[in-house]
Structure 1
Amino acid sequence: MTDVSHPHAEETQLAEPHLGAVLASAGLDAEYVRAEGNMLYQRAEDGGEIPVLDYAGGYGSLLLGHHHPKLVAYAKELLDAGVPVHSQFSLHPEAARLALTLSRIVRRESGYEEPYFAIFANTGAEANEAALKHAEMDRVMRLGALLATIDDGITKAREAVRDGSATIPAEVFERVGLEPRDSGVAALNELTHHLVTRNATQAGRPPVLLTPEGSFHGKLVGTVQLTHNEGYRNPFKALAAQARFVPLDRPGMLRKMADEERATLFGLEVADGLVRLTEHDAPLICAFILEPIQGEGGIREVSREFVQEVHEVCAEAGAPVIVDEIQSGMGRTGDFLAGTRLGLRGDYYTLAKSLGGGLAKISVLLVRGSRYQGQFELIHSSTFAKDGFSNRIALKVLELLEADDGAAYRKAAELGDRLLAMLGSVRDDYPDVVKDIRGRGLFLGLEFHDQSGAPAAPVAEAARSGLFGYLVAGHLLRGHRLRTFPTASAPNTLRFEPSILLTDDEIKWLETALRDTCDIIQGGYRRPLELPGA
């Protein structure tokens, strides 16, 4: 029998070996044995621990830090009490309490009076996938209702022509591209057949998903189509509805795209003894989905002007606005929702990451009451969603965040200002190395200038191959025991997403590491910045 607990050292690595090789090439192949606060710990050769300052923060999952003591104590209490994890297809009062709490907070942030209904999931990508499915289900139902209304009108017009109470003017034929005919039954049959066929073609067009350039919403079959980075999207392009990516810096482009995707359905009505043509916009735009601050796109905040255009165009098209707050939400920017200060109001919201406090894997889709389709609950489910343990942990997280009138949010804003000031000073002192500082609260990014012409050959080579950010991350880890990564679709931008436990010493730690790195990049320091083995 194979001993599965002790794999032989000589055996081939089977757990994502290619990724392991990539980590090794960048010097990021570290193993951590313990975590606490803003620290991860490696095991030293003498058996002791080596602290590593964690600025990656679980990609935004650790606003309260690693193993927050109150959450750990509560988790132990729940496990000791035998709280059921698997009790699917039964009542979950703790999920109901969590949904009510989230609805109350989101209503406060968005300004909407309606409640938000909750669909729970496990990961952010799954919550976004559920949002797309719900939006498409709603679109199909609205389209079906519109087609039924049009068919009813056509039926009534047919009856009126047949019994002689109405005639068909010549312009009706002309407007739909048919030769004018008499008002007999044969002409009527030709007209109605043409309308029904044309409407079926227009209604059968695939749904349109709109999202900004730079977006990242997950790597599942549907959500990966909303990821602007072609490297993630193109291998799976044939599997799901395609998105159109809207430039953030070109006012009016969203409206132009929406107009290009317009589909008109024709119907008939009878008025004053005449058959008239009616026109109806088919709901082809499934949804507009956006991050208030793009995470993997380089920590870029959308503008209030762009948000206003999104609201106006979506209202005209009848399409929902889906706000992805998976990385930016839960208080990380100084508000529960990053979109609050932008005036961004979502018909749908998705939350994850810090909702589980770094312990539970939980996410949620919140849908505004007037948009919610209850039937969705019967055709969408997830084995681990809505379990008693995760829901209770999430409730405790919200309790900690909302305590003392939102002291945690104020702390995130205050620490973010201090961190931003420090990063700004580094940029000012190294203007040829640091291009930009972006973000808000504890969701910040530092973008380097293109270093493909850097004097140090390893730096220039890494920049030309798109690995510059990983080279820097590896240096920060190996040289300064500081952990962070570049953003996925903007590899020259480093992310900084620490917890609200951040200290002045930890800010200084980062400053020292960044200044050393900038010195090396610009060639003013003797120690080289090299890839492992270089």
Structure 2
Amino acid sequence: MSTVGDHIDLAEPHMRENLAMAGLDVEYIRATGNTMYFLDENGQEVPVIDYAGGYGALILGHNNPEITAHAVALLNAQIPILAQFSRHTAAIGTAAKLNEIIQRELGDDEPYYAVFANTGAEAIEAALKHAELNRAAKVSALTGEISAAVEAARAAVAAGEASLPAGFQQFDDLAQHVAQHNAELLVRPPLFLALEGSFHGKLVSSVQLTHNEEFRTPFAALAAQAVFVPFNQPGALTKIIEQGRASLLGLVVDGGAVQIVERDFPVFGAFLVEPIQGEGGINEVSAEFAAEIRQACEAIGCPIVVDEIQSGMGRTGAFLASSLIGLRGDYYTLAKSLGGGLAKVSVLLVRESCYRKEFELIHSSTFAKDGFSSAVALRVLDLLEADDGRVYRLVEERGGRLKAMLQSLAAEFPDVVKDVRGKGLMLGLELHDQSDSQAALLRDFARAHILGYVISGYLLRRHRVRTFPTASAANTLRFAPSVELTDGEIAQLESGLRGLCSILRDQDEQALFA
């Protein structure tokens, strides 16, 4: 077991071992903008360009001076950070600002209610809970209607005004047939839809909506049941919905006869969608598939949860990546950059027509909506919106420059680079699989799904560039720097990636591990 100073390292020792193996076990002591610093053996600071960007949480950079000054001012003012069951002015302001931005971007004035949380996965959990609260209310209303219709039919038969359906001699037999069929269906748990390649967190429910089996399978018995929809595949969603549909039985009196009718049962709790998949490999939902999702979900009354935890907050050149493909959500989840790199804060936004006010009483968190993180979030939104959205324009320009460089490398090394994907400052470079490499170490690490981390170690050690593969697509390197990205930082990444591509092209494993 490794040690830190004189202390045994009990914090994720297996992770530390993997970091050491890949050459990534570096302790950073300072960070600003896109640069992080560690100390070399002589105690001198070594700068590293950070393209990991806190997994998308640093759109405004490390220790942004305006956010930092605001945070210090809040603490110096001794604001009440934890004041549960009171008026939270900063949270109210943040919710109002979010509505202002989203309504402008969507071109719709329907408001969204805000449910604050601490992390992205918690916001997803809140979305699942709220969606199930809505579905349960629909089920309750539906069963109430069926019960009333059964009693109306019973009265009509008793009064001699209606006859029973063929095969039933007594009304009680008919009522029991309906009740038994419905009882079997009513105890079934809801199904949630998500895309293949999705990542929605690792908490009890959210992990079941995360497609990666390594994360999901050990906990499959605990929570939400998911059905995964093939990514960007026309017709696949409609087929899954048709296969999953179910009906309750009800009765109607028509033309002097009692008839058995089917009533659509709300099987699906919600459809969770990342407009650009982060951990799945930087995969973009197409506008055509987004339209199919909206149409299919509207047809069955299934709400859409748009997960903008990584792709939102301006990272793609728009506040919501989903707005660029015309995907309208009933729910939105935001986190990561909402905290400005300083605060841990997330939010679930629920469309007014979907919102249930009783949710506020049955769902809560000690640290959600606290005075500090809410005030920081509001300042972040103000900075994003400043100068008529200058940050969004800069993200688009800087992202375009970075993507052009990556595409140039792909053209130069077609046998090494498989694809370049993403928008704005959420980009991915997919490398060809090395599982059949003639170089033993490359082959073995690729088959163990850790070559991406070894490559990251090479880029860090040799080129002072910090990046990592996406969690569920080990051959895809992610690039999520801040909007402060400079041409010099892009050139440093280009130099490192060119060296990497040359090594993989030549199968020079010694150079990679030197």
User: Which TM-score band (shorter chain)?
Assistant: over 0.9
Contact 1:455–1:523, Cα closer than 8 Å, also in 2 = no
SS at match of 1:239: coil
Q: Which of 387, 390, 401 does residue 407 from structure 1 map onto? A: 390
Distance in 2 (CA, whole Å) between partners of 1:429 and 1:329 is 32
Distance in 2 (CA, whole Å) between partners of 1:119 and 1:362 is 11
Contact 1:424–1:437, Cα closer than 8 Å, also in 2 = yes
Q: Which of 310, 317, 326 does residue 334 from structure 1 map onto? A: 317
Q: Which of 443, 447, 451 does residue 430 from structure 2 map onto? A: 447
Contact 1:214–1:229, Cα closer than 8 Å, also in 2 = yes
Contact 1:36–1:65, Cα closer than 8 Å, also in 2 = yes
Tell me the equivalent position of 1:456: 439
Contact 1:459–1:529, Cα closer than 8 Å, also in 2 = no
Once the two structures are overlaid, the 10-residue window that deviates more, 26-35 or 83-92, is 83-92
1:294-320 Cα distance to aligned partner (Å, 9 max, x none): 000000001112111111111111010
1:90-109 Cα distance to aligned partner (Å, 9 max, x none): 11122111111112212222
Tell me the equivalent position of 2:168: 181
SS at match of 1:451: coil
SS at match of 2:422: strand
Distance in 1 (CA, whole Å) between partners of 2:4 and 2:272 is 47
Distance in 1 (CA, whole Å) between partners of 2:335 and 2:507 is 43
Q: Which amino acid aligns with 1:51?
A: P
**Superposed CA RMSD:** 1.4
Distance in 1 (CA, whole Å) between partners of 2:405 and 2:383 is 28
Tell me the equivalent position of 1:129: 125
Distance in 2 (CA, whole Å) between partners of 1:523 and 1:277 is 71
Q: Which of 396, 414, 422 does residue 431 from structure 1 map onto? A: 414
Is 2:56 the partner of 1:60?
Answer: yes
Distance in 2 (CA, whole Å) between partners of 1:137 and 1:526 is 55
Distance in 1 (CA, whole Å) between partners of 2:449 and 2:50 is 23
Tell me the equivalent position of 2:228: 245
Once the two structures are overlaid, the 10-residue window that deviates more, 464-473 or 519-528, is 519-528
Contact 1:123–1:363, Cα closer than 8 Å, also in 2 = yes
Q: Which of 40, 43, 46 does residue 47 from structure 1 map onto? A: 43
Is 2:325 the partner of 1:325?
Answer: no
Shift of 1:290: 0.8
Q: Which of 39, 59, 68 does residue 72 from structure 1 map onto? A: 68
Distance in 1 (CA, whole Å) between partners of 2:128 and 2:102 is 20
Tell me the equivalent position of 1:100: 96
Q: Which amino acid aligns with 1:326?
A: I
Q: Which amino acid aligns with 1:181?
A: F
Q: Which of 14, 19, 24 does residue 10 from structure 2 map onto? A: 14
SS at match of 1:501: coil
Is 2:87 the partner of 1:91?
Answer: yes
For residues 110 and 474 of structure 1, do their structure 2 counterparts lie closer, same or farther at Cα, with a shift above 3 Å needed? same
Shift of 1:375: 0.7
Is 2:296 the partner of 1:313?
Answer: yes
Contact 2:441–2:509, Cα closer than 8 Å, also in 1 = no
Shift of 1:363: 0.2
Alignment of 1:443-522 (within 5 A): 443-522=426-505
1:161-208 Cα distance to aligned partner (Å, 9 max, x none): 1122222242xxxxxxxxx134xxxx1000001101211211221101
Tell me the equivalent position of 1:209: 192
> Taking every aligned residue pair, what percent have the same amino acid on both sides?
57
Q: Which amino acid aligns with 1:74?
A: H
Shift of 1:277: 2.5
SS at match of 2:168: coil
Q: Which amino acid aligns with 2:51?
A: Y
Shift of 1:484: 0.5
Distance in 1 (CA, whole Å) between partners of 2:371 and 2:240 is 44
Alignment of 1:289-438 (within 5 A): 289-438=272-421
Distance in 2 (CA, whole Å) between partners of 1:214 and 1:61 is 21
Distance in 1 (CA, whole Å) between partners of 2:206 and 2:18 is 25
Shift of 1:341: 1.2
Contact 1:301–1:439, Cα closer than 8 Å, also in 2 = yes
Q: Which amino acid aligns with 1:26?
A: A
Q: Which amino acid aligns with 1:101?
A: K
Distance in 2 (CA, whole Å) between partners of 1:273 and 1:13 is 79
For residues 519 and 8 of structure 1, do their structure 2 counterparts lie closer, same or farther at Cα, with a shift above 3 Å needed? closer
SS at match of 2:59: coil
1:266-290 Cα distance to aligned partner (Å, 9 max, x none): 1112234322323210111000001
Q: Which amino acid aligns with 1:141?
A: A
Contact 2:438–2:507, Cα closer than 8 Å, also in 1 = no
For residues 8 and 514 of structure 1, do their structure 2 counterparts lie closer, same or farther at Cα, with a shift above 3 Å needed? closer
Contact 1:455–1:522, Cα closer than 8 Å, also in 2 = no
Distance in 1 (CA, whole Å) between partners of 2:503 and 2:438 is 10
Tell me the equivalent position of 2:246: 263
Q: Which amino acid aligns with 2:194?
A: T
Shift of 1:71: 0.4
Is 2:9 the partner of 1:26?
Answer: no
Shift of 1:457: 2.7
Distance in 1 (CA, whole Å) between partners of 2:187 and 2:168 is 29
Shift of 1:8: 7.9
Distance in 1 (CA, whole Å) between partners of 2:7 and 2:387 is 54
Contact 1:476–1:513, Cα closer than 8 Å, also in 2 = yes
Distance in 2 (CA, whole Å) between partners of 1:461 and 1:526 is 11
Contact 2:442–2:509, Cα closer than 8 Å, also in 1 = no
Q: Which of 108, 115, 124 does residue 111 from structure 2 map onto? A: 115
1:420-458 Cα distance to aligned partner (Å, 9 max, x none): 000011111111111100000000000000112334332
Is 2:219 the partner of 1:223?
Answer: no
SS at match of 2:513: coil
For residues 390 and 526 of structure 1, do their structure 2 counterparts lie closer, same or farther at Cα, with a shift above 3 Å needed? closer
Distance in 2 (CA, whole Å) between partners of 1:525 and 1:205 is 55
1:327-349 Cα distance to aligned partner (Å, 9 max, x none): 00000000000011111000000
Tell me the equivalent position of 2:256: 273
Contact 2:332–2:348, Cα closer than 8 Å, also in 1 = yes
Is 2:128 the partner of 1:145?
Answer: no
Q: Which of 208, 219, 223 does residue 236 from structure 1 map onto? A: 219
Once the two structures are overlaid, the 10-residue window that deviates more, 457-466 or 260-269, is 457-466
Contact 2:232–2:285, Cα closer than 8 Å, also in 1 = no
Consecutive unaligned residues of structure 1, counting only runs of 5 or more, are 1-6, 171-179
Tell me the equivalent position of 2:150: 154
Shift of 1:10: 5.0
Distance in 2 (CA, whole Å) between partners of 1:229 and 1:191 is 46
Distance in 1 (CA, whole Å) between partners of 2:24 and 2:364 is 37
**TM-score normalized by structure 1?**
0.94
Distance in 1 (CA, whole Å) between partners of 2:219 and 2:140 is 29
